[in-house]
Structure 1
Amino acid sequence: MNISFTRLAITTAVLAAMTATSAHAGGLERGGYNIDLLFDPSAYALEATTTYVNPQRDLKNARDTNPANGLGSNGLGGGSTSVRDTDSYWVPRVGIKAALGDSGIDCMADYSQPFGADLDPGRNWIGANDNTKTKIETDNYAVTCSYKWAMGPGKIRVIAGGFYQEVEGYKERLVAPNFYGTGNGIGRLDLKDNGWGGRVGLAYEIPEYAFLTSLVYNSEVKFDDIEGTIDLTEVTVPGPLGPAVPITFGKYAVTGEASVPQSLEYKIQTGIAPDWLAFGSIKWTDWSVLQSVGFCPATASPLTPCTSLDLLYRDGLTVTAGVGHKFNDQWSGALSLTWDRGTSTVINTQSDTWTLGTGVAYKPVENVEFRLAGAVGILTSGSSRSTTVNGVPFGDDVSYDYGNDVVTAVSTSLKVRF
């Protein structure tokens, strides 16, 4: 048996399964950071992956907290009490890895979209004053290197790297009812910024036993100067003289600050029998750093108010376990189970998630590999209610319940070694 090839063949199927299951996790995570390509034993490798995720979170029993304020979808506290909250999305990743001769140094560069959000309940539900559409995207550009040397029966590897991250997004919600026919009452917040982060880690591998374990820390990315605008040009309210002389609003600049959280991830895999591999991982993510993110103009006023993105997250914890098997010299497969602890506390819909993932790897020739993976998961039930934190009310626009919903994902990738 060629042990090195067995490890490589099964590991690629394992990576396929884990890619699909990690594409919808707690907080704003869409797969997070991934440096598995760095451990590829070939001198050079190029990999491209894309994952389609379809979370089917449905809100039900929605209740307008204050129907008298005229902020339901019809301006009278009305609207549907059930709605599909989530939208599907794609998660791309491209990376290249190179070994620097016989120095023991490996480096990889990659592009990914590790975090994001895509909510689209629309304007015809009773909670339109809370959210009609939210979209957040991140673009991450990273370089990671490692240095390895012999220690005992295997090799130890020290890992370090950095990444540049851009964030951009918007949120729309019903700010005022459209009683006057001069606007739809929708206000929109746009935002963007960029920041830097870094990572360090340690790994140990024994190729003879298909053993690999790693511990990697990713720093937070601070967005200290988020620039954006609040657009209230579609908002009209009665003036001091009544509806005949309404007050109109405009578009103005706002600033804010937030952070993408730090994380710590431990992974392990090992051969357990000829052509069989067991693997697992546990990851902590500091999502509690995101509570309420405020956005204000230089001078707030009744015509230029502040706004906020209210999350009230707690820390995330993700645990994965699975097995992989080599069927022959061309085909291998893997099966995994992932539990992700929900990051929502009293408001929002980020509950616990259980995901079953499977992946296959096909190697038609020595240096080319195709991977296909799928995942199906359960988004567990819960509710969103109004609460008060340090004297500040949150979630007081609408309350709702949600049941056990389904999330599915499909991932494909191509790797070329040379």
Structure 2
Amino acid sequence: MKKMLMGATALAMVGGASYAGGIDRSGQGVNILFEEGNYAQFTYRYANPSVTGTNAIVGNSNDVAQSFSNLSFGYKHEITDNLDLALIYDQPFGAHIHYTDGPLSAGGVVGLPFDGLAEIDSDAVTALLQYRFDNGFSIHGGARALKVDGVIQSSLGILRADSDFDLGGVVGVAYEKPEIALRVALTYATEVKSGLEGVNAAAPAGAQERTFDVDFPESVNLDFQTGIAANTLLFGSVRWVGWGGFSLDTVDGQWVNFDDDTITYSLGVGRQINDKLSLALQFGYESAGDRPTTTALAPTTGSRSIGLGATYQINDQLSVSGAITYAQPGDQFFPIGAAGNIDFNDNEAWGGGIRIGYRF
């Protein structure tokens, strides 16, 4: 039962983490540490947001949030009865925004010679060790290497840049009581200072090289679960990310600025249906930030979501899981001077994913 219910709760996160605040994408979870024995998993996520801004004077900005996908892979190895190693690859941060019409597009009232756009991608590799004491407590920690690249188009020009891998740290503590399926885990990740190099291809004096730093924020994850009835599990999480003060600055000016930290909550229930199948239902909520937004990169604030996940245990080693999530991003607006605001209201997003797990 433990393996199946953990699979179902993990899949609620596969669909649910695909549309979050700031430019958060993966949630940077470490739950693979708590899988039994030696275990590997592959996860694919896809999100299809529909975000449109309206302005009665200068026209609408239609479908500004673009569809995107991300991948993750994890491997956990039991070194001794008390010591485990985990390696995780994920794509934790990203932005996919494109203003193809309306005031922030080429020829709009803002006066851009090209569409407002942000395409930011990232890759991270995390190495963790976990030591389990004999009283139910454990500690885990390690290092995370982060690499980012992308392009931003704004009134400042066209900035293309990338970084090498830069390092941060991860540390945490957990408590487990297996007889009632209880687990509480707290994980802290430090900020990662990324040194980027690139070119402003549309600087006033022509293409100019740019070198700058971006501090990707620290975060805290609290994950919990407990049995509440036979074959039934209550689970949830709280994630805080220090997006407030996150900025991208060059000699051209400030390209990106976020004012608000984000706190994302989830709560769900998992149920083993039979020896092969388990299901999970999850609700999510993210607190809204300030209005108006300080960057067109963030046309929504906060969200509400509901997700359904299922895990099918093919045999003792192999499991396949799938999930789907529906989210309603919170309303936001962006001021554009005398023409008023671009109002982003009543938007939605669909997310889904698949996970394949194999136990050695």
TM-score over 0.5 (shorter chain):
yes
Counterpart contact for 2:291–2:332, Cα < 8 Å? no
Q: Tell me what 1:216 maps to.
A: 187
1:58 aligns with 2:4: no
Distance 1:190 1:26, change over 3 A: same
Q: Tell me what 1:403 maps to.
A: 345
Residue pairs, 1:47-86, within 5 angstroms: 47-61=41-55, 80-86=59-65
Counterpart contact for 2:241–2:262, Cα < 8 Å? yes
Q: Tell me what 1:269 maps to.
A: 225
Q: Using the aligned pairs only, state the percent identity.
A: 25
AA aligned to 1:127 is L
* Residues 23-72 of structure 1: per-residue CA shift (max 9 Å, x gap): 21100000221211111012x11100000011111111176xxxxxxxxx
How far, CA to CA, are the matches of 1:327 and 1:25 in structure 2?
30
Counterpart contact for 2:312–2:319, Cα < 8 Å? yes
Q: Tell me what 2:202 maps to.
A: 232
1:189 paired residue among 146, 150, 159:
159
Counterpart contact for 1:318–1:341, Cα < 8 Å? yes
**How far does residue 81 in structure 1 lie from its aligned partner after superposition?**
2.9
1:116 aligns with 2:94: yes
Counterpart contact for 2:322–2:352, Cα < 8 Å? yes
Structure 2 unaligned spans of 5+: none
1:202 aligns with 2:196: no
| Secondary structure in structure 2 of the residue aligned to 1:14 | helix
Q: Tell me what 2:267 maps to.
A: 321
1:21 aligns with 2:5: no
Counterpart contact for 1:62–1:398, Cα < 8 Å? no
Counterpart contact for 1:53–1:88, Cα < 8 Å? yes
Aligned length: 348
| Secondary structure in structure 1 of the residue aligned to 2:65 | coil
1:139 aligns with 2:123: yes
AA aligned to 1:61 is N
1:413 paired residue among 334, 355, 359:
355
Counterpart contact for 2:118–2:150, Cα < 8 Å? yes
Q: Tell me what 1:245 maps to.
A: none
Q: Tell me what 2:25 maps to.
A: 30
How far, CA to CA, are the matches of 1:397 and 1:35 in structure 2?
47
2:74 paired residue among 95, 100, 125:
95
AA aligned to 1:408 is W
Bigger radius of gyration: 1
Q: Tell me what 1:107 maps to.
A: 85
Q: Tell me what 1:8 maps to.
A: 3
Counterpart contact for 1:62–1:126, Cα < 8 Å? no
* Residues 232-266 of structure 1: per-residue CA shift (max 9 Å, x gap): 28x8xxxxxxxxxxxxx421111222211101111
How far, CA to CA, are the matches of 2:124 and 2:56 in structure 1?
36
AA aligned to 2:128 is T
| Secondary structure in structure 2 of the residue aligned to 1:366 | coil
AA aligned to 2:281 is L
Q: Tell me what 2:285 maps to.
A: 339
Distance 1:398 1:97, change over 3 A: farther
Distance 1:397 1:252, change over 3 A: farther
1:379 aligns with 2:329: yes
Distance 1:157 1:105, change over 3 A: same
AA aligned to 1:172 is Q
**How far does residue 399 in structure 1 lie from its aligned partner after superposition?**
3.2
RMSD of aligned residue pairs (Cα, Å): 2.0
Query: TM-score, with normalisation over the residues of structure 1?
Result: 0.79
How far, CA to CA, are the matches of 1:309 and 1:170 in structure 2?
11
| Secondary structure in structure 1 of the residue aligned to 2:133 | strand
* Residues 152-183 of structure 1: per-residue CA shift (max 9 Å, x gap): xxx211011101100111112467xxxxxxxx
